[in-house]
Chains A and B, each alone.
Chain A
């Protein structure tokens, strides 16, 4: 099948099955739907059901093309039998005024073509071409779920990725993007129908266009992202609640919102507050149970695979090896204040017209967003402002522009209800024209993420896909190099992400999981002077019999302190008596808190490996060894790095038959000898950790040293393309 057709089939099959399931579900709600809304709501309400079905196939490892085809055929046949293909609705919604009819449908048609063409083109979005579809591809090749220790994004909820998987099976990347595009196009239609249903058709049309024609919504909605689907789903929740839909349906959609994106779970507050206010306790319970059933597979999977139901977040609550607390601490801070954002006063312009620092922009129209507060004069306006506030609440946790997507339909609605009706057509038309690729470049200058072109030749595959990708997608050629030069079971350690959905090899990007961070730490220890084992902290104590020793952290740097972010690390902990080392025996038991899994690394005799707290230092952390019997001890030596200035330690000993008690004395700090073979030792440890190859970019910090001293590292360069160099671990 020509590629363009397989893309359309993959996406169309997913949308058709979702629609069919939705038709059957809606029939059982006995909701009186108009002709304009029944098919639209069927798709949106069927999506969670299809997503659950694919989740189940992943759980039992039957992800095969044939299984999807068969399941799809059964769904469509069942829908046929159920009368889904017959018109049910008799009523019509309030018609659109003539001006709006022309304006809305002209703009909608134009943007639909642009979005569909863009989505059909080979996927080049940063997250779509990397983790969204790389993980989908892993599930597809593995025929279902599997723990993925090298990518923390694999632990996010993946409700939409399940629909991507269904489409990916037949049309690969572009089919998945088209599925997301379906939600992007459904959202303004829902907004329009909601306006017609609520007696404000012009406001509904204007709000729909405000959302649809935003440069950020367009580029996101036509990529294999999830944000537009979230926007569509949360709007559907409010729509259904306002239509007095049954609680199970609203709950199912709320659960699906969580399955699409953790932060979208807040939408449940809208129906919940309404039901509690009305004291409809049975409906409240049904809502919660339905939401939990749809959302439930994701925390369950995370708990089974990663030991943390909320992975990759809340790692202090559920400590695990998969994601380090230190990563989460840094990540949360980073997301709250992106580089270049010195003050929140920058946000209005960054979000609306600049877009470089926050990954996209909504368009100058949204400078008028405060006018949405004028909608508070109307009952519907108050609901829209309330919904916007609820859905914008999680924005403080991540100030990227697209994280406003769930609130955007409601902000658009509030604006359309608050602004004077006569100016709405002008504003909508200007916004629609101004958002067409790449007109923003004409009037806004050098701006952020947006659609730059309408790639119709690439979409129809009239232009060679690989050449098009090689020109437009940084790292694509590196991904193909991995495919050509490494064996299928290769594990490639990389310092920066590449579009790994275009390779079947496993790529462990340095920061993207605890395992990767530990592998990267080996490289950094050999590379950076401050991280090398060059300091020895020596505790000298009166000679005595001890059954164990423990070093305890006694410092908790206050917030804002330079040392607040220090991590504690120890390469080796050795006990001595009379200058002779107490031999480590199989009876020894070692322990640490936090990161108990890493404790053995401080007792393995290697100066390439270290126990790290992987959490910012705080009082009470410890590393200990119990000898299994009383040993004579007069000195404890800790080999450490020189990059942990905030660390302050106390030594404790376990006396025979007694408990742990502090041993007096401050540690003496002195120089330790760094092995000259540390580079090779690091590579040996990486091999032990499963790494087979190292991928470096010429602007990576490790590049200069590795390229000059590859043999000393035990690396051999086996390929280079586009500024990327691939090394095999020898």
Chain B
């Protein structure tokens, strides 16, 4: 069978950052390392991402990350998530390992087409050589 008519040209998503992609740099505003390790980057005490959403109703914020032991030893317990300055919740980071954190976002916090600033504020950081580290962030952004 022939290939059907293409419904939409593939475009990089502006509402979600896959941090292994080089294009994710456009969504990183602050606090996230430019170096990609496998499928993640280091995030510091205060990481900031910038998104644009084409739908604001029925969406959730999601972060996929790994909490290292060093973060806990530095006293880290939580990562607060703020959207356009409003606190959505806190990612519990009192245990080492992989986790996916997801939380519904009220539609009236968001406006379609305008930049949405997401701040991930950890309560600790630690030093690896001279580099300040928090946790390993794999992806973050808005999803259903």
Contacts and interface: CB of A to CB of B under 8 A. Distances in A.
Size band of the A side of the interface? 35 or more
A532 B102 CA distance: 15
Q: Is the interface of B mostly helix, strand, loop or mixed?
A: loop
B55 A600 contact: no
A584 interface: yes
A521 to B, nearest CB: 16
A708 B143 CA distance: 17
A709 B138 contact: no
Interface of B: 1-10, 13, 15-16, 18, 20, 39, 53-59, 64, 138-139, 141-144
A599 B1 contact: yes
Contact of A671 (B53, B56, B57, B139): B139
Interface stretch (A200-208, A345-353, A373-381, A677-685): A677-685
A220 B39 CA distance: 63
B6 A605 contact: yes
Given A586-B2, A606-B8, 20 more contacts: A581-B10, A584-B6, A588-B3, A589-B3, A590-B2, A590-B3, A600-B1, A603-B3, A605-B9, A670-B20, A671-B64, A673-B15, A676-B55, A676-B59, A676-B142, A679-B55, A705-B58, A709-B57, A711-B57, A712-B57
A585 interface: yes
A601 B6 CA distance: 10
A588 B2 contact: yes
Contacts of B143: 534, 673-674, 676
B58 A712 contact: yes
Contacts of A584: 3, 6
A296 interface: no
B4 A604 contact: yes
A604 B6 contact: yes
A-B interface, 10 closest residue pairs, ranked by CB to CB distance from nearest: A676-B55, A605-B6, A712-B57, A673-B13, A606-B7, A709-B58, A588-B3, A600-B4, A673-B16, A605-B7
Contacts of A625: 3
A589 B4 CA distance: 10
Contacts of B141: 673
A114 B117 CA distance: 73
14 contacts: A586-B3, A589-B1, A605-B9, A606-B8, A670-B18, A670-B20, A673-B141, A674-B16, A676-B144, A679-B58, A709-B57, A709-B58, A712-B55, A712-B57
Contacts of B59: 676
A523 to B, nearest CB: 13
A719 interface: no
A463 interface: no
B36 to A, nearest CB: 12
A674 B139 CA distance: 12
Contact of A590 (B1, B5, B13, B55): B1
B15 to A, nearest CB: 6
A588 B138 CA distance: 35
Interface string A159-203: 000000000000000000000000000000000000000000000
A529 interface: yes
Interface string A475-509: 00000000000000000000000000000000000
A526 interface: yes
Contacts of A581: 10
Interface in A558-602: 574, 581, 584-586, 588-591, 596, 599-601
B4 A674 contact: no
Contacts of B1: 589-591, 596, 599-600
Contacts of A680: 55
A588 B2 CA distance: 6
A712 B142 CA distance: 15
Contact of B58 (A589, A599, A603, A708): A708
Contacts of B10: 574, 581, 605
A676 B55 CA distance: 6
A526 B144 contact: yes
Nearest to B6: A605
A671 B16 CA distance: 11
Contacts of B138: 671
Given A532-B144, A708-B58, A712-B57, A600 B3 contact: yes
A256 to B, nearest CB: 42
A603 B4 CA distance: 7
Contacts of A605: 6-10
Contacts of A711: 57
A711 B58 CA distance: 10
Contacts of A600: 1-4
Contacts of B13: 673, 675
Nearest to A609: B7
A696 to B, nearest CB: 16
A585 B3 contact: yes
A561 B53 CA distance: 41
Contacts of B54: 676-677
A585 B5 CA distance: 10
A591 B138 CA distance: 35
A671 B137 CA distance: 13
Contacts of A596: 1
Nearest to B8: A605
A711 B57 CA distance: 9
A591 B2 CA distance: 9
Nearest to A670: B39
B111 to A, nearest CB: 13
Contacts of B139: 671
Interface string A666-699: 0000110111111110000000000000000000
A588 B5 CA distance: 12
A678 B144 contact: yes
B15 A676 contact: yes
A604 B18 contact: no
Contacts of A709: 57-58
Q: Which of B58, B59, B64, B139 has the most CB of A within 10 A?
A: B58
A574 B10 CA distance: 11
A723 B139 CA distance: 41
Nearest to A677: B55
Nearest to B141: A673
A604 B16 contact: no
Interface in A491-541: 526, 529, 532, 534
Nearest to A597: B1
Interface in A394-408: none
A673 B144 CA distance: 10
A211 B2 CA distance: 59
A109 B57 CA distance: 65
